[in-house]
Chain A
Amino acid sequence: DTGVSQDPRHKITKRGQNVTFRCDPISEHNRLYWYRQTLGQGPEFLTYFQNEAQLEKSRLLSDRFSAERPKGSFSTLEIQRTEQGDSAMYLCASRKPGELNTEAFFGQGTRLTVV
């Protein structure tokens, strides 16, 4: 499969624990995005990487959230001291280099439940 891959698909954690999600974009896609989607809502932008550089972070992203893309390939999203309000689907997407306004390709998402 050459699509965007996310791991794990589901995560249940206790409030206060830390969690980390991984995203493997489509090979050679240099732009990578993290979104959060709650029930009945559209995807909300969280952060964006071009290669290894994190170029934009949403104001929605609290200090408990951090994302990395150390070698410009896969990315991780970590949430520290999880809260019940963090329960959501976390989506990763990637886009081709070069073409300005090309579409984003999405992974299946990681569903986080904080209990």
Chain B
Amino acid sequence: GDSVTQMEGPVTLSEEAFLTINCTYTATGYPSLFWYVQYPGEGLQLLLKATKADDKGSNKGFEATYRKETTSFHLEKGSVQVSDSAVYFCGTGGYQKVTFGTGTKLQVIP
């Protein structure tokens, strides 16, 4: 079945630092790729997605590019803010279900 591997956290960064969270996947067919974010005490929210190879998803300053050749979908942001502190989940989704990684906790300090 599908699987997702994310870099382990927690990741601690100073405000305005550059963020990369690595994500690689294995999947059959042509899945979509997702990044979800979970703020403390809240449910999962879609952050961005990409539906085919070489697509770039972007939202709120975050970006990720669907790299089929390396089966990766790394999340990046040029300048993080304290409000970005949350847990980030990478996911791969075919028609049937979305499979998630274990999550990467990001803590941004002022």
Residue positions of A touching B, CB distance < 8 A? 33, 40-45, 48, 55-56, 91, 93, 100-109
Contacts and interface: CB of A to CB of B under 8 A. Distances in A.
Nearest to A35: B100
Contacts of B51: 101
Contacts of B95: 100-101
Contact of B43 (A56, A100, A106): A106
Interface of B: 4, 30-32, 34, 36, 42-46, 49, 51, 89, 93-103
Contacts of A93: 44, 98
A104 B98 contact: yes
Nearest to A105: B46
Given A42-B103, A43-B89, A103-B49, A108 B96 contact: no
